[in-house]
Amino acid sequence: MMKKMLIAVGLAALIMTPLSQAAGVGVIDLERVVENSTYLKQQNTTFQQKIKPQTTKIEQLSKELEAIQQRAQANSNMSAADKTKLEQQYQAKLTELGQLQQSVQGNVQSSIQQIRTVFDGRVKQVAEQLRQENKLDAILNKNSTLAYDPKDDLTDKMIQKVNAIK
């Protein structure tokens, strides 16, 4: 009987301990963190510069395809050999355009995944730092929280710390 009573008291103590030590919850506006990320802005600029030659070539090929179409429509009395030659040019440029677009799309997807992985790691690292520094139980995304006290908003601190990571 005494043993059961000790177990009950021990279980009650375990159940009540987390409640009495609850430190609270912080919130982060993740959209603002993303919008204000110097890392993401820098990565975007770098990536745009990296693919600029390819996007310029895509624009050039698109214009060349349009010019070939216009030439074919304007010269309705073109010989069969010239039509065939024009069709071959068109198909070659269309194939080149398709391959280039696929290459750019692959680069975009790969880069986005890599950037996202790094950024997510930074956000999680800083969230854990903020949680520990503020002695909190959890940090939640403000946009999925129904109600919170504005004093619990750690967004500005999060932005500052995420941007400080080199």
* Six token digits for residue 20: 């009495």
pLDDT of amino acid 66: 93
- Does residue 8 have a pLDDT over 80? no
pLDDT of amino acid 88: 93
Is there a contact between 90 and 68 (Cβ–Cβ < 8 Å)? yes
Strands in 15-164 per DSSP E: 25-28, 138-141
Query: What's the pLDDT tens digit per position in 41-85?
Result: 999 999 999 999 999 999 999 999 999 888 888 877 888 888 889
Query: What's the pLDDT tens digit per position in 134-157?
Result: 999 999 999 888 898 889 999 999
- In 50-84, which positions are buried (b, 16+ CB within 10 angstroms) versus exposed (e)? eeeeeeeebeebeebbeebeeebeeeeeeeeeeee
Q: Tokens 């179409």 — which residue? A: 69
Residue 137: which residues within 8 A CB-CB, separation 6 or more?
A: 22, 23, 24, 25, 131
pTM of the model: 0.70
Q: How far apart are CA 17 and CA 11, in angstroms?
A: 10
